[in-house]
Amino acid sequence: QVQLVESGGGLVQAGGSLRLSCAVSGRTFGNYAMGWFRQAPGKVREFVAEISRSTSNTYYADSVKGRFTISRDNAKNSVFLQMNSLKPEDTAVYYCAADRSPRLSSTPDYWGQGTQVTVSS
């Protein structure tokens, strides 16, 4: 019923920027959180950023705080992740996620297909 379509990944050099997009279609929840996770090769999937659709409260992992900004466009039912000052450690597959809960859990209800972000040194 719910589909998340991601775009914006790519290859950038350290210090560069990328903006990831996630368009959500299908059934709309009364109140759910959305956000981003990432998974690097050989690493566990980790939380990156979160935003509430209804309140626009945002939350960030310490590793990206001050560099990444999550935002939303309710008219287009889309969520974005602006990534600035990228570091090689940011290299990972980035997954958009949606959760029926007010906050994004470690096991969200819906996932995007993932988009590769590679930061060269």
Sequence-distant (6+) residues with CB within 8 A of 50 are 33, 34, 35, 36, 58, 59, 60, 70, 103, 104
Q: Is the pLDDT of residue 29 over 80?
A: no
Q: What is the pLDDT of residues 38-90, one digit of tens each?
A: 999 999 999 999 998 777 799 999 999 999 999 988 777 889 999 999 999 99
Q: With CA atoms as reference, report the closest residue to 24 among 63, 70, 80.
A: 80
- State the pLDDT at residue 1: 75
Q: Are 72 and 79 in contact (CB under 8 A)?
A: yes
- State the pLDDT at residue 27: 65
Neighbours of 65 (CB within 10 A): 10
